[in-house]
């Protein structure tokens, strides 16, 4: 059993009050040295990858807290890659507001300049604050977005495979730079895109970037089963996680793919203390800094409700799914909690930044991770520490050694590429185009 671990560097920490803790420069997310420092800590902990979320727009007014995403992920991760040696770099980018040629090329470029450590987390981006920046009155429908995403991913994989592994020759004596017989246009003509190709970037050390996907709706699951190699998902209970895990792995099988080639990585927000009591004290201080209850505020926002209308010690009021302001995956996640009849307070303490929250001592965090992987609810996690860099340092210095003692996490990197870290095969290039 091997646990996979990425770290999701959301702003300066995944708790809304992170920027007010004094543990990090409040506006550090506009300073690339911050991202490089966090990545080096992750690399010290032999984590698989640094992950950056993305939204092409201001998700909400940044008056009381940092924007969820700001600097564009591919350029930030190019700088991160050049300050690190081994850790993978996974950039989120939207299939709804990009062109396949540009994005395929940019991620492939990141893959080259990181020596084969890049991945792309493909999202369809619901937010109306994004669509208004691209000439749309409102976001396209869910079906429309996923139809475009499916074609986008298919075009991207073809472009990444448009050069054979041995097409780049560089034979000075013979004067042959590239074997252009091994570089083929893709001549794609589809409903959303017409792309001739080939890409102007060869294959990389790991063949091509790792494809990550982050949608939890039926269409998102279908897309993941067809294309993804890792899935970033929100799962708040072990049971919901197990159901999701089983559903995806069986969908992958039905697609004729290897279930071990598609990793399930839920988000996990961590608040770590030397003891459980210390961790809870830390969490309470964060909630206080957020002005009462930061996580309550976040939950209410996702539910489309006013935080002050919620009674902490009562169950959630009946939820009108049509009013929910979040992706289907997030909706399923917190409805799975509400269905258990938990109080608002109990839901909030399991829910942070839309992901499962664990508040505890290092052993307890390790227990959660181990249990979810053993019980087939996850292949690992995308970590979301409360505050950077401190929360990640706590994880790397105290949880990673515990996972190593248990023999379920590496003690050093075995390979150099993101695929090697994740135990994913180097994809064989589809040669059919030559036949």
Residues in contact with its own copies by CB under 8 A are: 19-20, 22, 25-27, 30-32, 36, 55-58, 61-67, 69-72, 74-76, 78-79, 81-83, 97-99, 101-102, 105-106, 109-110, 112-113, 132-135, 168, 170-172, 175-180, 183, 193-198, 200-202, 291
Q: Under a CB-based contact definition with an 8 Å cutoff, are residues 127 and 55 in contact?
A: yes
146 is known to lie in a ligand binding site: yes
Minimum gap (Å) between residue 79 Cβ and its own copies: 4
Minimum CB–partner distance for residue 328 and its own copies (Å)? 24
The nearest distance, CB 47 to its own copies, in angstroms, is 20
* Three-class DSSP category at 161: coil
For the bound state, the minimum distance from the C-beta of residue 195 to its own copies, rounded and expressed in Å, comes to 5
27 marked as binding residue: no
Neighbours of 253 (CB within 10 A): 13
Three-state DSSP state, 52: strand
Phi, psi angles (nearest 5°) of residue 47: -70, 160
Nearest to its own copies of 21, 331 (CB atom): 21
Nearer to its own copies by C-beta: 138 or 432? 138
Please identify, using beta-carbon distances, which residue of 12 and 422 lies nearer to its own copies. Answer: 12
Q: Are 10 and 353 in contact (CB under 8 A)?
A: yes
Which tokens is 412 given? 């050093």
The rounded distance, in Å, linking the Cα atoms of 364 and 238 is 15
The values of phi and psi at residue 35, to 5°, are: -65, -40
Q: Mutual orientation of helices 276-289 and 294-303 as an angle, nearest 10°?
A: 60
Q: Are 91 and 107 in contact (CB under 8 A)?
A: yes
Q: Give dist(CA 71, CA 275) in Å, integer.
A: 36
Find the helix or strand (DSSP H, E) in which 122 lies. strand 118-123
Give the Cα separation of 407 and 145 in Å (integer): 42
When the beta carbons of 82 and 275 are compared against its own copies, the nearer one is 82
Of the pair 7, 28, the CB lying nearest its own copies is at 28
For its own copies, the closer CB: 266 or 389: 389
- The angle at the Cα of 327, spanning 383 to 357, to the nearest 5 degrees, equals 30
Q: Which is nearer to its own copies, 110 or 352 (CB)?
A: 110
What is the smallest separation between the CB atom of 154 and its own copies, expressed in angstroms?
Answer: 15
For 180, the token pair is 């252009």
- Does residue 71 contact residue 29 with C-beta atoms inside 8 Å? yes
> Is residue 217 annotated as involved in ligand binding?
yes
Shortest approach of its own copies to residue 199 CB, angstroms? 8
Phi and psi at residue 334, to the nearest 5°: -80, -20
Q: Which residue number, 46 or 109, has a Cβ lying nearer to its own copies?
A: 109
Local structure of 213: helix, strand or coil: strand
**Could you tell me the CA-to-CA distances from 108 to 15, 56, 227, 297 in Å, in that order?**
32, 20, 17, 39
Minimum CB distance to its own copies, residue 94 (Å): 9
| C-beta atoms surrounding 180 within 10 Å | 12
Q: Please state the closest distance from residue 187 (CB atom) to its own copies, in A.
A: 9
User: Do residues 84 and 59 lie in contact, with contact meaning Cβ atoms separated by under 8 Å?
Assistant: no
Q: Which two tokens stand for residue 167?
A: 């097409």
**Does the annotation list 416 as a binding residue?**
no
- The residue (of 193 and 413) whose beta carbon lies closer to its own copies is 193
Q: How far is the CB of 130 from its own copies (least distance, A)?
A: 9
**Residue 293 counted as an annotated binding residue:** no
Q: Angle at CA 285, nearest 5°, toward 342 and 70?
A: 90
Which parts are annotated binding residues for FMN?
A: 54, 92, 142, 146, 217
Annotated binding site: 54, 92, 142, 146, 217
């Amino acid at each position: 059993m091997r646990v996979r671990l990425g770290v999701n560097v959301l702003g300066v920490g995944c708790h809304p009050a992170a920027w007010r803790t004094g543990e990090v420069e409040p506006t550090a997310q506009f300073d690339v040295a911050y991202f490089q420092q966090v990545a080096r800590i992750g690399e010290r902990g032999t984590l698989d990858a640094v992950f950056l979320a993305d939204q092409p727009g201001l998700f909400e007014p940044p008056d009381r807290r940092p924007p969820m995403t700001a600097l564009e992920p591919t350029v930030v991760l190019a700088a991160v890659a050049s300050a690190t040696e081994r850790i993978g770099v996974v950039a989120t980018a939207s299939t709804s507001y990009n062109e396949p040629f540009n994005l395929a090329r940019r991620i492939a470029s990141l893959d080259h300049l990181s020596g084969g450590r890049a991945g792309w987390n493909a999202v369809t981006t619901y937010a109306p604050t994004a669509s208004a920046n691209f000439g749309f009155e409102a976001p396209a429908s869910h079906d429309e977005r996923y139809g475009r995403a499916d074609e986008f991913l298919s075009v991207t994989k073809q472009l990444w495979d448009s050069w054979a592994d041995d097409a780049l020759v560089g034979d000075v004596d013979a004067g042959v730079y590239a074997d252009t017989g091994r570089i083929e246009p893709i001549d794609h003509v589809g409903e959303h895109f017409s792309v001739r190709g080939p890409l102007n970037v060869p294959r990389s050390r790991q063949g091509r970037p790792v494809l990550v996907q982050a949608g939890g709706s039926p269409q998102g699951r279908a897309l993941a089963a067809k294309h993804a190699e890792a899935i970033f998902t929100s799962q708040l209970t072990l049971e919901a996680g197990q159901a999701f895990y089983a559903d995806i792995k069986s969908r992958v099988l039905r697609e004729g793919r290897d279930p071990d080639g598609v990793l399930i990585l839920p988000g996990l927000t961590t608040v770590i203390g030397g003891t459980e009591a210390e961790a809870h004290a830390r969490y309470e201080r964060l909630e206080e800094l957020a002005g009462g209850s930061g996580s309550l505020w976040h939950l209410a926002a996702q539910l489309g409700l006013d935080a002050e209308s919620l009674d902490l010690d009562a169950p959630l009021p009946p939820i009108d799914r049509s009013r929910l302001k979040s992706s289907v995956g997030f909706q399923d996640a917190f409805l799975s909690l509400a269905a258990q009849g938990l109080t608002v307070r109990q839901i909030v303490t399991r829910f942070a930044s839309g992901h499962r929250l664990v508040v505890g001592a290092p052993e307890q965090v390790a227990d959660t991770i181990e249990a979810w992987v053993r019980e087939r609810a996850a292949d690992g996690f995308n970590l979301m520490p409360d505050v950077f860099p401190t929360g990640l340092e706590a994880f790397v210095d105290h949880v990673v050694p515990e996972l190593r003692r248990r023999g379920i996490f590496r003690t050093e990197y075995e390979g150099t590429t993101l695929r090697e870290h994740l135990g994913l095969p180097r994809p064989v290039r589809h040669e059919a185009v030559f036949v």
